[in-house]
Amino acid sequence: MKIEYNSIGIVHTPFKDLDHIPNQPSKAKGTTGVVEVYPKYQKGLKDLDGYSHIILLCHFHRISDYNLDVVPSGETISRGLFATRSPRRPNPIGFSVVRLNEIRENRLMISNVDILDNTPVLDIKPYFPEFKSDADIKTGWLNKEKLDND
């Protein structure tokens, strides 16, 4: 089934090429950027200014290939693509939680951004930490490796 989306804006960041994007969000701490929301969607930003963090869903426009077996960054063992956070996927959709610093008309000033410059934005959602907390969360192979290294 073919699915089509239109971007609602674009992200401006200091990362001009794929080789210089941090491979983990924690390595992007302090990096600033701007989400430019297209004017026809600006009204949808109403009330977003009360949130400290937002979720950006983006289209990784520079990703053209993928592999179903990947070796995650910093690892030596091959994993199934869907058990990793590799950006190279059949549908190159990115999910990033960033700090929302300020809203100026149709521009969102953000920080802790790990997204390539000029990446199309598909959606913006407020981040609700209480909806994400579950004491029973398992992290698959990541959890096993952590236990093995403790």
pLDDT at 135: 63
The yes-or-no verdict on residue 150 having pLDDT over 50 is: no
Mean pLDDT of 137-145: 67
H/E stretch holding 146 reads: helix 140-149
Instruction: Give the pair of three-digit tokens for residue 10.
Output: 């674009």
What is the span of the domain harbouring residue 120?
Answer: 9-149
Gap between the Cα atoms of 73 and 132, Å rounded: 25
- Distances, alpha carbon 110 to alpha carbons 64, 90, 99, 114, 125, in Å: 27, 28, 5, 11, 14
Gap between the Cα atoms of 91 and 81, Å rounded: 12
Q: How confident is the model at residue 30 (pLDDT cuts 50, 70, 90)?
A: confident
Per cent of the chain over pLDDT 70 is 85
**CA torsion through residues 26, 90, 20, 5, sign:** negative
Per cent of the chain over pLDDT 90 is 53
Q: What is the pTM of this model?
A: 0.83
Give the count of domains, the chain: 1
Is residue 92 assigned to a domain? yes
Tell me, what amino acid is at 4?
E
Is residue 4 assigned to a domain? no
pLDDT at 144: 60
Q: How confident is the model at residue 132 (pLDDT cuts 50, 70, 90)?
A: low
Tell me, what amino acid is at 66?
Y
Give yes or no for a contact between 9 and 38, defined as CB atoms under 8 angstroms apart. Answer: yes
Is residue 2 assigned to a domain? no
Mean pLDDT of 54-77: 88
112-122 confidence digits (pLDDT tens): 999 999 999 99
The yes-or-no verdict on residue 147 having pLDDT over 60 is: no
Mean pLDDT of 3-25: 87
Q: In CATH, what number is assigned to the domain containing residue 54?
A: 2.40.30.70
Strand 53-59, strand 119-126: pairing: antiparallel
Gap between the Cα atoms of 94 and 124, Å rounded: 12
Is residue 63 assigned to a domain? yes
